[in-house]
Amino acid sequence: MSGAVSLESIGEGLTRTRGAAVDVAFRMRGSGPAVVLLHGTSANHAVWEPVGDLLEGEATVIALDQRGHGRSDKPETGYTGDDFVTDVVTVLDALGLGQALVAGHSLGGRNAWLAASRHPDRVSGAVVVDYTPFVEAAVLDELDVRVAAGFREFADQAEIEAYLRDRYTRILPGAVERRARWGYRQQDDGRWVPRASPIAMSQLIEGFRTPYRDEFLAVPMRMTHLRGRLSSIVSESSWRSAMLDRPDDRWVDVEEADHYIPEEFPERVAEEIGRALRS
């Protein structure tokens, strides 16, 4: 596949694969060892911008729009963990990169440990932000309802930002602006709708019900995990169960954060990714 996949600039600082089974958009900057950043459900590459700002002096930072999101392809099916991992490898191949550290938030965190398990020759390390194999079914049920409610029309960017501030109460003001700018598109009638695909969101949340615990256990390198102490996704019980599975990993509680740590404490996340890079 790598020989058939090329790259094209699509403007606004983004590059996109061309010729893959599913083409993926991403932003790349900086120099040094490669770090792939994977966002969470219904988000996009831009949620990582402050983290990328902090890392680009020591790493080549590659922030993806995962399939079903942003400017990447949105197939009707294909949203299992392994489908997302395939896209990471596709981007690495297209860039001619042998290895990368993979860091991900929520959905992206699950995909990070799965990539490390499936492709230990291509993934040099994994940083998992606020996700574990033990997230409870009731939490996923609530997530499904909450994400589905976001698929609506908006009159303008101001209305989008008001909605986002209400939904993500702790993210920084700049994070609200980035989500509004990058996460929505204007229709022919002038109204705005999310770029993420509702079909994709429904399927990938259903995919969370496969815990990938065996793959979590099989990751051969020491991983780093971060959890927001106020997280609505990773309960204390889920966190403790994951720690028991992998006691030699690095486990970091972020006391004042909820689930959206990269958009609340980007310095803390960048610090942990940098630590993982140097180790």
Active-site annotation holder among 39, 69, 105, 259:
259
Active-site annotation holder among 65, 73, 130, 258:
130
Strands (E) in 187-259, as ranges, are 192-194, 224-228, 250-254
Q: Is 97 exposed, middle or buried (0-12, 13-18, 19+ CB in 10 A)?
A: middle
| 259 among known catalytic residues | yes
Structural contact between residues 83 and 111, judged by C-beta atoms closer than 8 angstroms: no
| 82 among known catalytic residues | no
Nearest-angstrom CA–CA distance, 151 and 141: 17
Q: Which residues contact 37 (CB under 8 A, 6 or more apart)?
A: 45, 48, 51, 52, 61, 62, 63, 64, 103, 104, 108
Q: Is 144 exposed, middle or buried (0-12, 13-18, 19+ CB in 10 A)?
A: middle
- Given CA atoms 4, 126, 48, 203 in this order, what sign does their dihedral have? positive
- Given CA atoms 37, 40, 44, 48 in this order, what sign does their dihedral have? negative
Active-site annotation holder among 72, 106, 117, 197:
106
Nearest-angstrom CA–CA distance, 43 and 81: 17
| 279 among known catalytic residues | no
Q: Give the helix/strand (H/E) hosting 36.
A: strand 34-38
Conformation bin of residue 228: beta by default, left when phi > 0, alpha when psi is -120 to 50? beta
Residues known to be catalytic: 106, 130, 259
